[in-house]
Structure formats: C-alpha cells, structure tokens
Amino acid sequence: MIKRLILAITILIFGYAGLVFLTNWTIDRIPSAFDLNPNPAYAVTCFLTGHRTSGMYKICYYNCLGSTVAITIKSTQLCPLTIKR
C-alpha cells in the first residue's frame, strides 16, 4: 500500500515537472509580432497604416510594398510603427 502511494506521488511529481518544462519551452518559442520573418536578410519593412480594437485585441494594419498585412496584439499595447516581413 505504501509502495503504491510512493509510486503515485512520484509519477505526479515527474508529470507536473514535465508539464512545467514543456509549457515554458513552448511559450519561449512563440514568435512575437516583431519577429514575423525568420530570415532578416530578405525582410521587407512594413509601415503602420491603421488599427482597430476588437474586444481584448487590437488589429494593426501595415503596408508592405503595396500589400496589406495585419497582426493581432493585446488591446493595451501600442501598434509598432514598422514591422519586418
């Protein structure tokens, strides 16, 4: 009975530690709005043309050499004046 309890507690501890590790590993690798292009050698600078707030989020619109690009950020943040694409 005690061995099963110790085994169950050990599994819970390692499972929780694994979950924390994977969560931190994934969050660190989410690209930000400022890093939309993984290869900056071919980056195009896009300029802010406008924004719209929708609930908890803000949609920022950019002109990228004639094409419109949009990014979504938190409504409390300011839209960056330029982004690399």
Enclosing domain of residue 82: 37-85
The string of pLDDT tens digits covering residues 12-57 is 676 665 555 555 544 445 555 555 555 666 788 999 999 999 899 9
Provide the domain count of the chain: 2
Question: Average of pLDDT values for 1-5?
Answer: 74
- Residue of 32 and 67 predicted with greater confidence: 67
| Domain match, 56 and 18 both | no
User: How far from each other are the two terminal CA atoms of the chain, in whole angstroms?
Assistant: 60
Identify the residue whose tokens are 């969560």. Answer: 23
Tell if the pTM clears 0.75, that is, is over it: no
Is the distance from CB of 80 to CB of 70 less than 8 angstroms? no
| Domain match, 85 and 56 both | yes
| Domain match, 48 and 76 both | yes
Q: Would you state the pLDDT for residue 9?
A: 74
- Residue of 76 and 9 predicted with greater confidence: 76
Q: Which runs of consecutive H residues, i.e. helices, occur in 1-85? A: 2-28
